[in-house]
């Protein structure tokens, strides 16, 4: 259903499904414009018959069976604490997404079109003030479209976190953690994801430097080089980068790092909620040592330790 014109590594572009959420306020209806990465969208369907679940958050409308897979369905308007207009004014659809190998449906009021947008044209959430009921932590990016309208890219990963679907660190994981001295750089536009990764690396004994996008990641690397000089490759044990980020995405960031003699020997691991095989191949093409799907603590510790150990043996 989507464009076959494949995005290339280093193009710093993404494709979004443009969808709309309507809000009723003072007897008027306002249209909010939002987006989700096409790579995370399986399909878009009419609202199926849902089975309600007791004891779940209000924004969970229920579950349904999609070709043998039980999928929870989130009402995005309720999650965003938006008052919906009468149902007669809506053209509701369910966007079936795949985050970190987990299928979730999101009810939207209308699915409009596919947009191709450069990450250069996407500003971080802090760029916009006055989001109303939306918390800025629920937004990863903002971009302007035609008629000077604003499209918001929602941090739907925070829904996955709220539902407890990420695999946290367990006591068994703690026993397997290999302590590492040194620094790690993490890049992620999601506050939720940065917190998870920061906590995991801190448990390993590492100092952590954070960046919200690829451009800030380059800046942080430059600052670290000013401190450590040629010894940076010994101090900075690993870079862990998201793929989707404003200004400069993870693949474009990695391509820049691998072309810079100061940084090219530092291993990069992609850590993304995009779990398709094509993205994994793109990660390798961009120079990544590994591609992880957010967030399974036991797999994270195992793979990160392996990459760091290999790097330490070569410097």
Strand order in the sheet with 183-187: 207-211, 183-187, 236-241, 268-272, 290-293
State the residue for tokens 């999928």. Answer: 71
Write a three-state SS string for 187-218.
ECCCHHHHHHHHHHHHHCCCEEEEECCHHHHH
| Residue pLDDT, tens place only, 215-229 | 999 999 999 999 999
| Residue pLDDT, tens place only, 147-198 | 889 999 887 777 877 777 666 666 666 676 889 999 999 999 888 789 889 9
CB atoms within 10 A of CB 128: 15
Pairing of strands 150-154, 139-144: antiparallel
Distance CA 108, CA 36 (A): 11
Helix (H, G, I), strand (E, B) or coil at 288: coil
Pick the CATH number of 171-314 from 3.40.190.150, 3.40.50.1100, 3.30.1360.230, 3.40.50.2300: 3.40.50.2300
Cα 105 to Cα 31, 128, 240, distances in angstroms: 21, 27, 28
CB atoms within 10 A of CB 105: 27
Q: What is the mean pLDDT of residues 98-126?
A: 87
Task: Give the residue extent of every domain in the chain.
Answer: 13-162, 171-314
CB atoms within 10 A of CB 231: 11
Determine what percent of the chain is predicted with pLDDT higher than 70.
88
Structure confidence at residue 165 (pLDDT) = 67
Q: Which CATH superfamily is domain 13-162 in?
A: CheA-289, Domain 4 (2.40.50.180)
Structure confidence at residue 27 (pLDDT) = 83
| Residue pLDDT, tens place only, 257-283 | 999 999 999 999 999 988 777 888 989
Q: What is the mean pLDDT of residues 18-32?
A: 90
Topology alike, domains 13-162 and 171-314: no
Place 137 in a pLDDT band, splitting at 50, 70 and 90: low
Structure confidence at residue 11 (pLDDT) = 59
Q: What is the mean pLDDT of residues 124-152?
A: 72
């Amino acid at each position: 259903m989507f464009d076959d014109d494949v995005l290339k590594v280093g193009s710093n572009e993404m494709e979004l499904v443009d969808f709309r959420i309507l809000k009723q306020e003072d007897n008027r209806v306002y249209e909010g414009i939002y987006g989700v990465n096409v790579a995370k969208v399986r399909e878009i369907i009419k609202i199926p018959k849902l089975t309600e679940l007791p004891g779940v958050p209000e924004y969970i409308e229920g579950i349904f069976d999609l070709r043998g897979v039980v999928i929870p369905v989130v009402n995005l308007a309720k999650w965003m604490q938006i008052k919906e207009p009468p149902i007669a004014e809506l053209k509701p659809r369910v966007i079936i997404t795949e985050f970190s190998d987990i299928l979730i449906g999101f009810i939207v009021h209308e699915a409009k079109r596919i947009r191709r947008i450069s990450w250069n044209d996407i500003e971080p959430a802090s760029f916009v003030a006055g989001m109303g009921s939306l918390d800025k932590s629920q937004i990863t990016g903002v971009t302007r479209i035609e008629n000077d309208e604003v499209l918001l890219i929602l941090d739907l990963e925070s829904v996955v976190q709220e539902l407890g679907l990420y695999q946290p660190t367990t006591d068994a994981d703690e026993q397997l953690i290999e302590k590492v001295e040194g620094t790690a750089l993490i890049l992620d536009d999601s506050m939720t994801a940065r917190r998870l990764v920061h906590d995991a690396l801190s448990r390993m004994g590492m100092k952590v430097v954070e960046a919200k996008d690829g451009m800030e990641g380059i800046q942080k690397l430059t600052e670290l080089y000013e401190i450590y000089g040629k010894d940076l490759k010994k101090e900075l044990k690993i870079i862990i980068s998201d793929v989707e980020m404003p200004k400069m995405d993870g693949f474009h960031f990695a391509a820049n790092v691998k072309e810079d003699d100061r940084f090219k020997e530092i291993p990069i691991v992609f850590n993304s909620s995009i779990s398709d095989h094509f993205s994994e191949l793109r990660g390798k093409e961009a120079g990544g040592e590994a591609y992880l799907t957010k967030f399974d603590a036991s797999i994270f510790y195992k793979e990160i330790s392996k990459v760091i150990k290999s790097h330490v043996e070569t410097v």
